[in-house]
Amino acid sequence: MSKSLDGMVTSWNPGAEVMFGYSAEEMIGKKMALLFPSKRVNEEDVILARIRGGETLVQSDTTRLHKDGSEIEVSVTISPIFDQEKTIIGASNVVRNISARKRAERLLQEAETQFHAAISSLREGVVLLDRNGEIVFCNASVERIVGLSAAQMRGVTAVDTRWRAVHEDGSDVPRETHPGLVALQQGIPQRDVIMGIYKPSGELTWISVNAIVLGTEATRTGVVVTAVDITERMTIERTIQDNNKDLKNAKAAAEKANLAKSEFLSSMSHELRTPLNAVLGFAQLLAAGTPPPTSEQALSIDQILKAGWHLLNLVNEILDLSLIEAGGLTLSREPVSLPAVLRDCHELLESPAREREIQMTFPSVASPIYVYADYTRLKQVMINLIANAIKYNRVGGAVTVQCLMNGENRVRVSIKDTGAGLSPTQLAQLFQPFNRLGKESGSIEGTGIGLVVTKRLVTMMGGIIGVESGAGVGTEFWVELGVASAPAATISGFDGIAATQQGRQGEPNLSPQRTLLYVEDNPANLLLVEQLIAQRSDLRMLTAVDAYLGIQMARVHHPDVILMDIHLPGLSGFGALKILREDPKTAHIPVLAISANAIAQDVAKGMEAGFFRYVTKPIKIDEFMKALDVALLYAAEKCLPGKDTVA
């Protein structure tokens, strides 16, 4: 389109019609100023004056009016028009609609503003490095992390002496390993690099850094580096590490202390039981000697035995309690026949009940009941509760043991006596160590530890123990345990039940005389066992005072059974057993341990090592003889026709 020097439109093309909404008839002969917004109406005079002077004007950013009154953003180029004589007679206007471009520019600018605002408000630090590794942008979080303003950091390389970067071990991060510069130089993104930044103030901030390359591999234009403040996390992690280290050290110290305590208890048990073995062993021999002791001697022997067994019981209970408190007592929980345990208790306690004329009633169980427990410790619990019911009962009283299901998965065993009962005050003090509830001055022996041990054993087996009592009406203790499935059938034979020498067809005859070898360095213990064996015409005994001599004698004399002490000079009973088992000449011989190391771990260790039986000191003569008979029977069966034998 064009206009005259007085501003009148002289031509109007179709493009102008589309852009401004006016037809050529509407615009030709009209003032071009019709298209100017009111704020620009005076610009026409300026434009015309400059055109008359021969100047070409370019307006790249201006506005014009549409016919409907809306403003259009345009780019205008105005050039003078000359006639043949080179006289300026008018001006041509080339107009381009740039509204869409301007809208896009505004949107982009707005987006950039919002982006910068968003980046600035992020908790994560954001840094933009140019291709030279210099900082061109950083947000407020970076200012907080580094301790400098954005203006102070702009144009500075990512590695600067004003902020010291360190690795986790405290060593400086050199320029060549800085994640931002590594990403820029190698084109490889860096992920989760942990660094520490020392501010100019000396404060340390830990950050996790990621760096992403901008541009292509051929043209890397820069790097975006993000930094997450992980100071709190690092502090917590290091605190946890320190605590774990302290806990590890404390655990090691506790384990060392527990080991020392267990070793002390084992040693204490051995040292206490060894003299008790002689006292109780020879007292039992005197009581059963020939000729029998006089009535006065029998009374004295009875006092020795009572005092000795009481002392042994006290030692056992103190050691049990100490082991439980030290966490050194281990249980072997498995399905245990409850009726079998109660039958054993009935047999063991029948004699003391008869002495006090106590009528004991045990349940008649029609079907097997198995509980999840440790056989030895469950038997210990039941014996202690039933023995107390006998001991603290009235003469001629009764003890009733009942066994009832309590729901589908629990069984309750109750022990009820007809004694004097307990007051509320006594009940409150019942499970306190060494508290005998006022019975200390009475004639009934006790330690005040048994119930404490009993309660803790029941708890360790996953059970519950309770008591109900009233003055003058007796006391009822009860124990609840979880029901277990019946164990798989076991092969009958030498399973710990003393075998008899009669009643089986094809039973091996233990005659002629059988040979025992006893390896023991304690003269009193040797003498005691010698006197016991001397009462058996079917046995003869060889002795050795150390393990090496015992091994040599076993190889020469091929004894039927070996009795082995554990604590021996030079080589222990365990070492001797290993050598005997590895020698084909002696591997078949059953070896019974006889030891004053009598805590549960010692017994378990002995059985795991391969001892045929583990007899603890002080020896109970009947139990010792039963264990010996089982070993002799085993040795005899090994020699039956068709059995494996060792020459």
Under 8 Å between Cβ of 465 and 458: yes
The answer to whether 632 touches 563, Cβ cutoff 8 Å, is no
Top-ranked range on mean pLDDT: pick from 112-121, 447-456, 574-583, 635-644: 574-583
Q: What is the pLDDT of residue 326?
A: 62
Question: How does the average pLDDT of the chain come out, rounded?
Answer: 82
Q: Is the pLDDT of residue 433 over 90?
A: no
Alpha-carbon distance of 369 to 510, in angstroms, equals 37
Q: Are 99 and 77 in contact (CB under 8 A)?
A: no
CATH, domain 514-638, list 3.40.50.2300, 3.50.50.60, 3.40.50.1370, 3.40.50.300: 3.40.50.2300
First-to-final CA distance of the chain? 131
Q: Which CATH number fits domain 2-98: 3.40.50.720, 3.30.930.10, 3.30.43.10, 3.30.450.20?
A: 3.30.450.20
Burial class (CB in 10 A: 0-12, 13-18, 19+), 403: middle
Q: What is the DSSP letter of 175?
A: G
Domain 331-482 is in which class?
alpha beta
Residue 206: in which H helix or E strand, if any? strand 204-215
Is pLDDT of 642 > 50? no
CB–CB of 437/471 below 8 Å? no
**What is the helix, strand, coil percentage profile of the chain, to 5?**
40, 25, 35
Measure the CA–CA gap between 7 and 90, rounded to whole angstroms. 8
Q: Which two tokens stand for residue 505?
A: 């067809």
pLDDT tens for each residue of 43-82: 888 888 888 888 888 776 888 899 999 999 998 888 999 8
CB neighbour list of residue 321: distance below 8 Å, 6 or more residues apart:
433, 449, 452, 453, 456
| Stronger pLDDT, 149 or 504, i.e. the higher one | 149
Q: How much is the pLDDT for 578?
A: 93
Q: Please say whether the beta carbons of 475 and 469 come within 8 A.
A: yes
Question: Where residue 268 falls among pLDDT bands split at 50, 70, 90?
Answer: low
Predicted confidence at residue 324, as pLDDT, reads 67
Cα 210 to Cα 217: distance, rounded to the nearest angstrom: 18
pLDDT at 219 over 80: no
- The pLDDT tens digits of the residues spanning 188-204 come to 888 898 988 888 888 89
Q: What is the per-residue DSSP string for 252-267?
A: HHHHHHHHHHHHHHHH
Q: Which helix (H) or strand (E) holds 550?
A: helix 547-557
Give one DSSP letter per residue of 9-76, joined into a string: EEE--HHHHHHHS--HHHHTTSBGGGGS-GGGTTHHHHHHHHHHTT--EEEEEEEEE-TTS-EEEEEE
Tokens of 17: 């019609």
Structure-model confidence comparison of residues 454 and 580, the more confident one: 580
| Contact in structure between 10 and 4 (CB atoms under 8 Å) | yes
CATH of span 122-229: 3.30.450.20
